[in-house]
Amino acid sequence: MRLDSEGLRELYQRETSRSARGSAADCLTADMLARAAAGELNQSEREQTADHLVTCSDCAQDYRAVVSLKSWAGAAAADARVVPLQASGNGRSHLLPVEPTVHDVRIGSRWVSFYLPYTIAAASVILSFALGALLISRWRENQRLAAEINRTQLVRKAEDEKALVESRRLLEEANRRAEQESAARRAAEDELARREAVARSSSRPQSSSSSRLAPDVNVPIVDLNPQDAGRGEENQKATTIQLPPGTDLFTLILNLSGDDASRSYSLEVTDRSNHAIWTNRELRKSPYNNFTVALHRGSFPAGEYRLKIYGLRDGKRQLIEEYAIRLVY
């Protein structure tokens, strides 16, 4: 990309400014700038000043302002050394030099002579340098205040970003706690339902020594095979078991898909949420390579259940078969 003179000037000012360097400690003082404009520096000071003006656009701008004030003071001094004179011949006015007027002033016990035009010129020069120093001081103070405001804004921005990150963290923590509380509440509700089912099962009337329960007739018997239940699938198809009205007891025959030589067996019945609601560790396999279990209608409300057979092998409990049923009353 090609840069014109204006672009180069802006690039120089931006790259050599005090804000770009980050510090104004090495900048020229107002007194040094005034002496440089008046030509009162020695050789070493002139070289140091020139080197700094090349690398600091802000000090270079201050130096140009002081030099312009010096030019204005010089013009004022020149005006003080001439007076207007009206010519009688052609009507034109001319500015002619006049001799400086001597004024004697008593200072203490001495009389001191002053040339009034030179005094005015010297006062103008001194006033211009004083104004230049004041302007430079004010301008540098404004730059310092602007830099301080920028730093304050950056600090506030960083604090706001930190507060935003902390708010997001607290919100995520609150959401995580809400999810944990919801999961704990669901687990508590499922545990309460399981205990209620166990309580209903244990509240059935027991036989006494003086009376016996009457035999049940027309007890439904349902054969269940692992392949019917879609064994091994996450959402396996359940076998629907519909009981006639008034039937309390029904028997399930749990057939194995193959021979198994586990030392012992256990049966676990879970609900649709996979929470165990009944467990028996005394399950025995019949000579026909199957198991039988009788369930009471009052202990298992209508709905879906899973029956899981576990075998003990080498001291480890392993799942052998799984059956899915749907009870319809």
d(CA 307, CA 322): 6
Question: pLDDT value at position 107?
Answer: 41
CB atoms within 10 A of CB 119: 13
**303 Rama sector, left if φ>0, alpha if ψ -120 to 50, beta otherwise:** left
> If 0-12 CB within 10 Å is exposed, 13-18 middle and 19+ buried, where does residue 266 land?
middle
| Buried b or exposed e, range 8-25, using 16+ CB within 10 angstroms | eeeeeeeebebeeeeebe
> DSSP character for 264?
-
Least confident of 98-107, 197-206, 230-239, 319-328: 98-107
Please say if the pLDDT value at position 125 is more than 50. Answer: yes
Is residue 95 very low, low, confident or very high in pLDDT (cuts 50, 70, 90)? very low
d(CA 196, CA 301): 12
Query: Which comes out higher in pLDDT, residue 187 or 96?
Result: 187
d(CA 115, CA 123): 12
Please say if the pLDDT value at position 236 is more than 90. Answer: no
Is residue 114 very low, low, confident or very high in pLDDT (cuts 50, 70, 90)? very low
d(CA 327, CA 302): 5
3-class SS shares of the chain: helix, strand, coil, % to 5:
45, 25, 30
d(CA 172, CA 291): 50
Please say if the pLDDT value at position 304 is more than 80. Answer: yes
Q: Where are the domains of the chain?
A: 5-157, 221-328
Q: Which CATH number, 3.30.160.110, 3.30.230.10, 3.30.360.10, 2.60.40.10, labels domain 221-328? A: 2.60.40.10
